[in-house]
Amino acid sequence: MLRRASGGPSGPVDIDTIMPADSYSQNLTPIRAIADSYDPTMRYIAYYNGWANVTNAAAYRGTLTMTSDPNAFFLARAFGDTISIYRSTAAANGSMDIYVDGIFHGTVSNTTSNGVSVPYTIAGLSPTDHTIEVGNNASSTIALDKIAVSTMRPMAFNRLTDDRVTASYGFTGLWTPVSDISAYNRTLMRTTDTSARVAFRFTGNWVCVGYTLQPGGASMDLYLDDVYQGTINSSSVGTYYQSSWCSTLFADQTHFVELVYAGGGVFDLDFVNPRQYRTITFDRKVVQESDASITRNNPSNWFTSGIVASAGGFRPNGGRQIWSNTVGSSLDFWINGTGFILYTSVGPEMGDWEVYVDGVLFTTIDLYSWRWRPMAYGITNLGPGFHNIDLVAINTSPGYNVYFDGVRAFP
């Protein structure tokens, strides 16, 4: 739309050429890693209307490119699925409007923290060529430091990913690395920025997010594949300790996760732990104790029986079973069905099993019997679908054991 300036002279207006801004962006070289804001040849970034370079020792390569012109904007191209716009933030800086591929992405505040080079990250894009337009919102101040572009690397399953592995995370807002001997690899990423976000991808069907519970801890809303999953509340009363939020089971594929600051004070991100559980289903019949579907959460506490078990001389399923005499030793697995059969052993010197279904204590199985023998214990009426099962040993001690021989799911 062209509109005559108010108060201007009347009469005809001659228009020579109209060049859409997006057409110039096609002359730009796509950013594939990092582009400095100082770009006098406009190879990567094209500036329009009143930008100036300002020296700042804390900036990337020592220069910020700034404007307070209400009509100012810049264009860039980026090749990747994650784009981070690093800009200065301060109470007086106002906000900026962002367009990606010609579509309005959002108005972003530059006032929620105080930093020279604070990222705003756009993640979850297709890993292709994108056009970015960033414009001044009203008479705000924009101070651009750099633009970083990457293809976010999915986290590997069955392995903790440290908060410092930057190739796996897309941070938005002011996050600060913090040393903490109780954290995984002794580091945390900390934020109090109300605009803070962090995004990541993982391959698998389950994920845990590690964080610090602390007085005055913040909350973060968690979205998986753009669907809200819950809120992580990191606030505690008078105690600091490491904790984790763990998901239910999802489809076994690559997922996109985003944590969004939801209020409070400090949030400390410690790690992300994706897993790929092999779900136990009815058609798999009896799943042995050695199967990868069964996780021994305290591996050093578990021992394997011989080909013929001492428990009454019976032969276990598959010829072996595992046992523990340590209180708190646990096994966990996932089923897809309405229940399961637990194959175990009873005898005169036995502990007990606590059975947790989806994190809630379901029953306690007393393994005492006057003689040694195998036992199959059925858990039913769970409702169809995925269920997480935890078996926890209690009332054990040297000579008083719990045994696990296998499991079979009901359809």
CA distance 232 to 223: 11
3 state DSSP class of 372? coil
User: In sequence order, what are the beta bridge partners of 253?
Assistant: 204
CA distance 245 to 207: 8
CATH 2.60.120.10 fits 282-410, yes or no: no
Pairing verdict, β 95-100 and 142-150: unpaired
Rg of the chain taking only CA atoms, in angstroms? 29
Confidence (pLDDT) at 266: 97
Confidence (pLDDT) at 166: 67
Confidence (pLDDT) at 173: 96
**Which of 191-195, 260-264, 321-325 is predicted least confidently?**
321-325
CA distance 366 to 103: 62
**What do you get for the CA distance between the two ends of the chain, in Å?**
63
The reported pTM is 0.76
pLDDT in tens, 60-81: 999 999 999 999 999 999 999 9
pLDDT in tens, 138-189: 889 999 999 999 999 888 887 777 766 667 899 999 999 999 998 988 999 9
The answer to whether domain 21-150 and domain 161-275 are alike in fold is yes
pLDDT in tens, 198-207: 999 999 999 9
What are the E-state strand segments in 227-292?
227-233, 241-246, 253-261, 267-275, 287-288
Confidence of residue 35 (pLDDT cuts 50, 70, 90): very high
What does pLDDT average to over the chain? 89
Q: Structure tokens of 14? A: 């001659």
Q: Structure tokens of 196? A: 């803070």
Of 223, 231, 225, give the one whose Cα is nearest residue 263.
Answer: 231
Question: Does the pLDDT value for residue 225 go beyond 70?
Answer: yes
* Residues whose CB is less than 8 angstroms from the CB of residue 284 and which lie 6 or more positions away in sequence, other chains included: 408, 409
Q: Structure tokens of 127? A: 């890993």
Q: Exposed (0-12), middle (13-18) or buried (19+): which is 338, by Cβ within 10 Å?
A: middle
- In the chain, domain spans: 21-150, 161-275, 282-410
* DSSP for 161-191, written as a single string: EETT-GGG-EEES--EEEE-TTSGGGEEEEE
3 state DSSP class of 62? helix
Residues 112 and 193: beta-carbon distance below 8 Å: yes
Range picked from 38-42, 137-141, 230-234 for highest mean pLDDT = 230-234
Confidence (pLDDT) at 364: 97
pLDDT in tens, 99-125: 999 999 999 999 999 999 999 999 999
Q: Structure tokens of 30? A: 């796509």
* Residues whose CB is less than 8 angstroms from the CB of residue 103 and which lie 6 or more positions away in sequence, other chains included: none
Question: Does the pLDDT value for residue 20 go beyond 80?
Answer: no
Confidence (pLDDT) at 308: 47
DSSP-assigned letter for residue 19: -
Confidence (pLDDT) at 380: 96
Confidence (pLDDT) at 309: 46
Confidence (pLDDT) at 163: 67
Share of the chain above pLDDT 90, in %: 72
3 state DSSP class of 319? helix
Question: Does the pLDDT value for residue 294 go beyond 80?
Answer: yes
Pairing verdict, β 63-67 and 142-150: antiparallel
Confidence (pLDDT) at 16: 57
137 backbone dihedrals φ, ψ, rounded to 5°: -95, 110
Confidence (pLDDT) at 249: 86
HSE, side-chain direction, 13 A CA sphere, residue 165: 19
* Residues whose CB is less than 8 angstroms from the CB of residue 6 and which lie 6 or more positions away in sequence, other chains included: none
Domain 21-150 has what CATH class? mainly beta
Greater pLDDT, 312 or 208: 208
Confidence (pLDDT) at 1: 47
pLDDT (average), residues 363-386: 92
Confidence (pLDDT) at 276: 86
pLDDT in tens, 385-406: 999 999 999 998 887 899 999 9
What are the E-state strand segments in 27-168?
34-36, 45-48, 52-55, 63-67, 73-80, 82-89, 95-100, 103-109, 115-122, 128-137, 142-150, 161-162
pLDDT (average), residues 362-389: 93
pLDDT (average), residues 335-340: 96
Range picked from 10-24, 213-227, 389-403 for highest mean pLDDT = 213-227
Domain 161-275 has what CATH class? mainly beta
